[in-house]
Amino acid sequence: MRIERFSLALATPLATARGTIDAREGFLVFVDVDGIRGVGEATPLPGWTESIDECRDALGRARRAVATDGWDAALATLDDGAPAARHGLALALCDARSRAAGVPLYRHLGGEHTERVPVNATVGDGTVEETADEAARAVEQGFSTLKVKVGAREVAEDVARLDAVRNAVGDETELRADANGAWSREEAGMALDTFADLDVAFVEQPLAPDDLAGHATLRGGAVGIALDESFAEHAVETVLTADVADVLVVKPMVLGGPDRAREAALRAREAGLDAVVTTTIDGALARTGAVHVAASLSDPPACGLATADRLAEDLVSDPAPVMDGEVCVPQDPGSAPEPPNREVR
């Protein structure tokens, strides 16, 4: 097992509650399983996962465990508080094992399969006119599902923006909204009442991540409630048991790997919820791994996988580019092509 650090500049700085991010930093994880190479990506995002230093240290522990106790023991060292590190090693192992089996990763993961995954376009927080124009351009590019960022303005302004989008794109386009935990319970109630008239499918994280009780009072209505940031603080099983959401937003990097992300999506479906697979603005290897997770599910909804344009540079040429609002799932054995000119040592 070998790790190698990388840094990918963002096309546009990303503002978060913990400050502005100009680049996505992480580690490539190289493994050799019975003579078959595999590569994974561990790209932590503080606030969602461990820090970059914690990720490096966790991968170091896993590397030492491999030498003495094997791959399962190495993964076990990453169970406590290092989801990005576990993602990197789990993806590398899945990559090697699916290559050995001669199948693409999504078939190795099991279940029913799809070779094309629908994806949503994300519409940023602009003025009414800017939001409507951006939405219309996305539909012209072939997207049939749009996620509109809300919560940075007064509720009335966001209602006006969503109304303009609906008028611009017509009734056939699915609309979602993402509040990133910005609303109070009162504001969320007001927004959901008016969004119902605009046929908004669901709102991601309307309330603060720790307010599970508040989300419980909102779910089950005409506009669904999706939880996203809450998984940085609560386990999937906790959310499902508490009955606080209609949709789970499944991020493999946050949950600790493609295996755990698929398991979370299946658990959500068993509980009668839908699951939308997304990324944390990862590099191409993790992003393609997320595509395989979505493809391993029967009839996946539009997923948040159209994030390559958020990066100014990437690890490899995109193995799963977006075309007409869909991703064609790579059909070669494994997950994605290995980064060039790098050897497992």
For 184, half-sphere exposure in the C-beta direction (CA atoms, 13 angstrom radius) is 4
Which is the catalytic residue, given 149, 176, 215, 260? 149
The Cα–Cα gap between 196 and 226 comes to 15
Please report the beta strands in 245-301, taking only residues with DSSP state E, as ranges in sequence order.
247-250, 274-277
The Cα–Cα gap between 96 and 270 comes to 29
The Cα–Cα gap between 40 and 56 comes to 14
Give yes or no: 147 in active site: no
Question: Would you say 228 is a known binding-site residue?
Answer: yes
Which is the catalytic residue, given 161, 251, 262, 287? 251
What angle is formed at CA 238 by the lines to CA 247 and CA 62, rounded to 5 degrees?
100
Contact by Cβ (8 Å): 147, 138: no
Question: Would you say 80 is a known binding-site residue?
Answer: no
Two tokens, residue 296: 């391993």
Two tokens, residue 335: 């997950």
Residue type, position 18, single letter: R
Question: Would you say 172 is a known binding-site residue?
Answer: no
Active site residues: 149, 251
Q: Which residues are annotated as a binding site?
A: 178, 204, 228
Annotated binding site for Mg(2+): 178, 204, 228
